[in-house]
Amino acid sequence: MIFLDLFSGVGGFRLALESEGHECIGFCDNDKFARASYKAISNTEGEKEYHDIRNVSDEEWREFRGKCDLICACFPCQSFSIAGKRRGFLDKTRSTLFFEIARAIKQIQPRLLLLKNVKGLLSQGGGQTFRVILSTIDELGYDVEWQVLNSKDFGVPQNRERVFIVGHLGDECGRKIFPTFGK
């Protein structure tokens, strides 16, 4: 499977996907230190590298159409986290970046989506923020499943709850992904 890594950070999704034999064709992160770490950890030669997702044109995204099976993204969580101000979509600098992912999805039309954020995304704004995200993905033609997973349930020595959202284009998925349970 060929994937595009948005809001890539230092490459957590990439490490997992490559360990299963999948191939990355491009990545995007606005933080220069995260990008430097990403490139030091992974061989990114020949891949598209983007910095600020807001500056990637629709035409650039469309270059991936038919070449990208999966978009994965860990979009910014500060506006949804209980550790933050929980301003949700009112925070125009970070929270609305989800809609940049939606723009990329619309142009690329990958078969699958894998998104991750903090558990607080579910309750932010009385649940309205999460409803908007699910509705947006649905309007793009994707069936959506989601579940909160905790890293401690998968052998990681920390308590880190995250919501994972899996989208599949139309009837692309032959089985349910969630619920899943840790080891």
Residues with active-site annotation: 77
Compute CA distances 68 → 13, 38, 90, 173, whole Å. Answer: 15, 20, 32, 16
13's CB contacts (< 8 A; 6+ apart) are 3, 5, 72, 74, 114, 116
| Contact of 114 with 70, CB cutoff 8 Å | yes
